[in-house]
Amino acid sequence: MDTINNDIAYTLVSEKEIDEIVTRIAAEIDRDYAGSDKKLLLLCILKGSVVFMGELMKKITVPLEIDFMKVSSYGSGTVSAGRLNILLDLARPDMSELDIVIVEDIIDSGKTLSYLVKYLELKGAHSVRTATMLDKPSRREVEFTPNYIGLDIPDEFVVGFGLDYDEKFRNLPYVGVLKREVYSN
């Protein structure tokens, strides 16, 4: 049968490893925001972060709210277009009451998150931090260090657990590297 698993060359991060990562980051967020008098807002960056967000929020035990932004920086392939458009903005009347944790699937050039952190600070958030499931530090074009990091990975294009190639493979429950022929088809 033709399934998305057939297009994966190998698994980079297994379901078990992802679960351990999510548990650890949730505990770090619990530790850092316990007893805060502001509102913790988990801000999911659509669409890639939606699976990580869903798993992460279930494991956090301090009170929180969720919201969503959508930005576009990539075209349909594997290469960055290098610009950022805000397609869905965060519109809240209570910005100064918010401790925001931006939830991202993966950091590559660093442009998306460095822009978003500045943007949300300018909008008046009380604080802004970032959590990423995966990080490719060797790909940075702007200096950026997230506050919560799941796993550093090498410079490979990965899919699964929310991450896509041409909008596909987001439903893979683990993170994998695509077979070469998938790109060339």
Active site residues: 108
Shortest Cβ distance from residue 134 to ligand IMP (Å)?
Answer: 8
Q: Could you tell me which stretch among 20-28, 54-62, 95-103, 156-164 binds ligand IMP (CB under 6 A)?
A: 156-164
Cβ proximity to Mg ion, 33 vs 134, nearer residue: 134
Q: Judged by CB under 5 A, does residue 146 bind Mg ion?
A: no
Shortest Cβ distance from residue 41 to Mg ion (Å)?
Answer: 18
Site for ligand IMP (CB under 6 A): which residue of 11, 80, 127, 147?
Answer: 80
Q: Judged by CB under 6 A, does residue 48 bind ligand IMP?
A: yes
Q: Nearest-CA neighbor of 144 among 175, 100, 106, 177?
A: 106
Q: Judged by CB under 6 A, does residue 174 bind ligand IMP?
A: no
Give the pairing of strands 8-13 and 158-159.
Answer: unpaired
Q: Could you tell me which stretch among 1-9, 86-94, 119-127, 153-161 binds ligand IMP (CB under 6 A)?
A: 153-161
Q: Judged by CB under 6 A, does residue 131 bind ligand IMP?
A: no
Q: Judged by CB under 5 A, does residue 48 bind Mg ion?
A: yes
Residues 6+ away with beta carbon under 8 Å from 3: none
Contact residues toward ligand IMP (CB under 6 A) are 48, 73-74, 80, 104-112, 157-159, 163
